[in-house]
Amino acid sequence: MINVTRATDWLVHAKRLRKEQLCKLAQTGALVGRISHLAHMLQCERGASNIWLCSQGALYAPECKASRALVDEQLLAFRQVLGSPEAASAALCERVARALDELEQLPALREGIISRSLPAADAMAHYSRALRHLLSIVPLLNDSIDDPQIAGRFVALYSLMQGKELVGQERALGAIGFTQGFFSDEMRQSLVDRIDGQQACFEVFLSLTPPPLQAHFTLSMPGIETEQLRRQACTRQPAADKGVLALHWFSLQTGRLEQLRSQEEQLIADLMLAVDELITRADEHPLQPALPDELLAHYPARPLLPLVRQQAQEIEQLSRQLASMRDTLEERKIIDKAKSVLMTHQQMSEEQAWCRLRKMAMDKNQRMVDIARALLTVKALWQVTPKE
């Protein structure tokens, strides 16, 4: 062990350690890229498998076969860039091991799908678990970074990848519901949770992403047709159309995922470019003795602390939003039941029943859900005079 006592010795040592960290981070760029590619193809296989299972094998057979082949190709490339476990931390090794364990179960999962012995919801859960463990590797790849800009870019990338996975889960859930022509209350709540979760992830991503990279993100926002299908899934049952609506939904959400995939590639390239610039700067500008305040500016003690606090606030806000959305969904159910009463006893259309409830609420200066709840409470005793 070398004994150093002068300030310049410590600064030279700090420079060497910092460059080693940056070089190690540059090497992880290939791994992050492979994780991104593999996750994207797994998301494609998950969605296609759901449509195939719910249609009893009538839809998406070629797409299922093609997506499996692409996943296998990306899985092989992922294994090749993993490198040696000796250079990794214990926590990173554990997460890689868990991800590989889930990925090694893909053949059995596919057998259950091909034989149609596995329900679509169970298949989706298997794929989602594999994706969760795969994506959990990313945060540990920056555990030694002390540069706030690089750390911020890593958090932004991980937030984008998490948001994209929630979009993939939303696509898979909608594919199940629209293909089978039915959304249970549990499925509707799951859709609401995924939609809210996306928003929280993308807000963190945007808060930490340079403005030039934010412009492309607007292309991945849900369009009018997607929003209309979301409302239909969360408020009423789709009509039986032999999978036409399911394929339209799948196409719209696939477009979003492709845009997010392009955004991921841009973010990974930007991250690696920033790392390369820091390495070049370290070579071109040798570290000289500096005042303590300058040193603190170069090496902040806890650069991730503000990010951790921000994410904690995001989680708290998300919890409040989820609670609010659950209340909203429950209110929609009550209003739908009240509309059904009016439609049955007064031979009204859905729009007429809605207008009647809204007028009653305005006349009494009450919320529509309160009017609907009162209507349901007394419906057993309420004698409705049929229309002439």
Do 139 and 254 lie in one domain? The reply is yes
Q: What is the pLDDT of residue 356?
A: 86
Q: Count Cβ atoms below 10 Å from residue 310 Cβ, excluding itself.
A: 15
- From the first residue on, what is the mean pLDDT of each consecutive set of 10 residues in the chain (388 residues)? 64 74 73 92 93 90 94 94 75 90 96 94 94 89 66 85 94 90 89 89 86 82 92 85 87 93 90 80 57 42 50 56 62 83 83 84 83 79 47
Q: Would residue 114 count as lying in a domain? A: yes
Tokens encoding 323: 């609670």
Q: Is the distance from CB of 12 to CB of 289 less than 8 angstroms?
A: no
Q: Would residue 248 count as lying in a domain? A: yes
Residues 6+ apart with CB under 8 A from 48: 60, 63, 64, 67
Tokens encoding 195: 């939609």
Q: What is the pLDDT of residue 298?
A: 42
Q: What is the pLDDT of residue 388?
A: 44
Q: What is the pLDDT of residue 210?
A: 80
Q: Would residue 76 count as lying in a domain? A: yes
Tokens encoding 77: 């490339």
- Rounded Cα distance between 309 and 294, Å, is 25
- Rounded Cα distance between 341 and 379, Å, is 8
- Rounded Cα distance between 175 and 180, Å, is 8
- Rounded Cα distance between 155 and 151, Å, is 6
Q: Would residue 323 count as lying in a domain? A: no
Q: Is the distance from CB of 98 to CB of 133 less than 8 angstroms?
A: yes
Do 116 and 192 lie in one domain? The reply is yes
Q: What is the pLDDT of residue 3?
A: 56
Q: Would residue 310 count as lying in a domain? A: no
- Rounded Cα distance between 314 and 298, Å, is 28
Q: Would residue 87 count as lying in a domain? A: yes
Q: Which domain holds residue 335?
A: 330-377
Do 27 and 116 lie in one domain? The reply is yes
Do 216 and 363 lie in one domain? The reply is no
Q: What is the CATH number of the domain that holds 359?
A: 1.10.10.10
Do 243 and 337 lie in one domain? The reply is no
Do 348 and 227 lie in one domain? The reply is no
Tokens encoding 328: 């909203």
> What's the total number of domains in the chain?
2
Q: Is the distance from CB of 45 to CB of 37 less than 8 angstroms?
A: no
Q: Would residue 316 count as lying in a domain? A: no
Q: Would residue 222 count as lying in a domain? A: yes
Do 275 and 135 lie in one domain? The reply is yes
